[in-house]
Amino acid sequence: MSSRFDLVTVGGGLGASALAISMAKRGARVLVLEKELQFRDRVRGETLAPWGVAEARELGIAELLLKTCANRILWMDMGFGLRDIIGTTPQKEAGFTYFHPEMQETLLCEAEQAGAEVRRGVTVVGVEPGVHSAAVIARGAQDQRIPARLVVAADGRGSVARKWAGFTAQKTPHPFHFAGVLLTGVSAPEDVMTYLFNPDFALVVGIVPLTKQRWRAYLGYCTENGLLLEGHEKLGTFLAESKKIAPSVAEAYADVESVGPLATFEGTESWVDHPYRDSVVLIGDAAGTSDPTFGQGMSITLRDVRVLRDALLSHSDWDQAGHHFARQHDVYFQTTRKVCGWLRLLFEDPSAEADALRERAMPQIAEDMTRVPDHLLSGPDLPADETVRERLFGS
């Protein structure tokens, strides 16, 4: 007996809803299961890099985001003067920023408009892989088993669905935390995103203008300093630590108020090699959670959606499509991870070994900024070989 659904998604975040929109518009029968009745501020990604905006455009959701919730970011400040984002990226795109819950509401509504069935307040409690179809178990008064031609696990950075489906996650721990809070009253322009790194303090500060006079403030810091920036009572410490990085940050934060929770996350990356098996595919953070410091997660998620969509549309055998997606995912996820590792070492790491590296590399970078690989804005299709590494480290 054939399943009622072609695709069932575990979760209704960015990855699941973007895929639901794309596939429902092409006639697929899609069911989205999302546990939240209303999205709230979980302190998540709110800057979509230009290469992610290009993916959003390919998926037909860029204009929708702009019309409903997104702000265009034209300039980037990394402490070396303002960079013109549109003029200096191959995609010729601005960056987008948005309040994450508003983006989620927009896309989930659009998925429904496109013909997907969306059930909210439904928690998936199991996934059953299978050779020709898989199934999810949805929690209710009586648990319901829902079969589908393909189950898409898009349940985010703490994905349990991947465990139920029998995948094993790899991890690279490193000693950094990344905290974020929503602020008003920030004194900074609305079309400039600021990311400042200072390895002397092992700190990273991000100031991201959203819409409606709100800013997302991020602080990356080394776990060795013993801080855990969680809860409203730690806001003073968050601001004081951030202000250490540069006088411009002290000015920007002179008169701010928080309007959302303060939360901290591990910078640890985790991923599944080859995120497809037995009619279950992983996308977004469930397939690979990148270090949030470098703001790549949503762009990778949209790349996942586009690559998977194209594979499903071009293969009648969805098992082959799943494997095709998984092979491609491994390449762009690992390229991003590799380059982020280089940048973490050079710009964040407080060790003596990294100091020595900076002593050699930084004067050469000051003379020629193109030594810094541009994957964070321009995407993982740029080369990331030994020559690129040697240029960065000045060897």
Interface residues with ligand FAD (CB under 6 A) are 10-16, 33-36, 43-48, 123-124, 154-157, 178, 180, 265, 284-286, 292, 295-299, 301
CB of 124 or CB of 357, closer to ligand FAD = 124
Angle at 26 between CA 284 and CA 150, to 5 degrees: 50
Least distance (Å) between residue 210 CB and ligand FAD: 11
> Mind giving me the DSSP string for 141-190?
SS-EEEEEEEEEE---TT-SHHHHTT---EEE--SEEEEEEEEES--S-T
Name residue 160's amino acid. Answer: V
What residue has token string 């987008």? 96
Least distance (Å) between residue 300 CB and ligand FAD: 7
Least distance (Å) between residue 44 CB and ligand FAD: 4
Q: Judge whether 280 and 321 are in contact, CB under 8 Å.
A: no
Least distance (Å) between residue 287 CB and ligand FAD: 8
* Cα distance between residue 50 and residue 90, in whole Å: 9
What residue has token string 């230009």? 50
* Cα distance between residue 39 and residue 334, in whole Å: 30
CB of 68 or CB of 123, closer to ligand FAD = 123
Closest CA to 309 of 7, 45, 65: 7
CB of 209 or CB of 284, closer to ligand FAD = 284
379 backbone dihedrals φ, ψ, rounded to 5°: 100, 170
CB of 77 or CB of 364, closer to ligand FAD = 77
* Cα distance between residue 351 and residue 155, in whole Å: 35
CB of 45 or CB of 260, closer to ligand FAD = 45
Least distance (Å) between residue 136 CB and ligand FAD: 8
CB of 218 or CB of 358, closer to ligand FAD = 218
